Each structure stands twice: as C-alpha cells, then as structure tokens.
Amino acid sequence: MKNIAIWASGKGSNALKIIEHFNNRTDICFYLLCNKSNALVLEKIKPYSIENLIFDRADLYENNKVLDFLKEKQIGLNVLAGFLWLMPTPIIEAFPKRIVNIHPALLPKFGGKGMYGMKVHEAVRAANEAETGITIHYTDEHYDEGEVIFQAKCEVSPVDTPETIAKKVQVLEHLHFPLVTEQLINKL
C-alpha cells in the first residue's frame, strides 16, 4: 500500500481532483491533513471515507503530533494542495523529496510569504505579465522555494482580470497536479 498525505486548508478543489483521479487505485491510501476544523475540504472528502488529522500550530511546530501521525501511517509522499503554513525542519528532514507543493504562478515569480490565492493573480495583473501558470515543486523550509518538478503556462491577455487569470490557472492546476502526483507515486 502507498500511503499519501494530502495537506489542504481551504476549498480543497485540488485535493479533491487528486483523490478522484486515484479513485480506482486499490494500492493507494490517502490521508488528509488540515489545519482548520471548518475547512470546506473536510466536507468535500466525506464521500471518500478518508481518515483525517486536524491540527493546530502547536501540533505542527511545538509538539510531534503531526510528525508522529506521518510516521505511524508510513506516509510515502506529502502533497501540499493549498496548504499555506511553512513546513517545519523536522518534517522536511524526515521526508527528503517526499513533500511537493503547488503554487499558482511561475516561480520564482510571485511567490513568498503572503503570496497565495487571489493576491498572486492580482500581482500578475498589476505587473502586466504576458503569461502566468503553475509550479509544482519540492518543498523546503522557505515559502515557495525548492526544486521545481513541473511548470505549465497560460497566456495573460490585456483584458484579463485577476478573476479570469485565476480561472485559467485553476484549469492548469486541476489538469496537471493529479498527473504529476501520479508520476511521483508510481516511483515510490
């Protein structure tokens, strides 16, 4: 069995796409890690009977609740699908090249602390970029850094708004994140 931890703390549209993509794989067991007890993602995964761990800052940074859970479940890959807190060093060290994040821009552009959600697309619009896209990368102790695994681009036209840019980027995320995750899982 390949045990995969999906970390999500918001709407969970990417988490759900990944879970749906692997629905027929009996060799994969997903766990959901979430830092908000009222996150929409927890509602969305209900039909899939996925065990979840809800945790707070202390569980991640001060005690070993999260790390112990990952070890107990023998997690092979951590997939950050809309998880915005920094990964603590002990978790990075316990999972070398086993933590991947998706970011809604072409890193290193438009990344870093505070760059998430619509803020990214507003910054892309304000900078008059001709293109934007997605980055899937291994995670380190810094926001939105770490070796890039995959990028995909889309055009930004002069009439695009942050909202229309967000839609284009989300199409790329939903298409590619499950496929890249599949490649990484198949290597485990």
Residues that bind ligand GAR (CB under 6 A): 8, 10-15, 81-82, 84, 102-104, 116, 144, 173
Sign of dihedral through CA atoms 141, 145, 149, 155? positive
- The tokens describing 96, both together, are 């070398």
- The tokens describing 120, both together, are 């990214």
Burial of residue 156, with CB atoms counted within 10 A of its CB: 0-12 exposed, 13-18 middle, 19 or more buried: buried
CA-based nearest residue to 117, from 165, 181, 172? 165
CA distances (Å), 171 to each of 43, 88, 136, 151, 164, in order?
22, 30, 14, 13, 11
CA-based nearest residue to 147, from 137, 160, 135? 137
Q: Which residue is nearest to ligand GAR (CB)?
A: 82
Alpha helices in the chain (DSSP H): 13-21, 40-44, 57-61, 65-72, 89-94, 118-126, 162-186
The residues annotated with a catalytic role in the active site are 103
Q: Which is nearer to ligand GAR, 66 or 80 (CB)?
A: 80
Residue 31 C-beta: closest distance to ligand GAR, Å: 17
Q: Which is nearer to ligand GAR, 103 or 176 (CB)?
A: 103
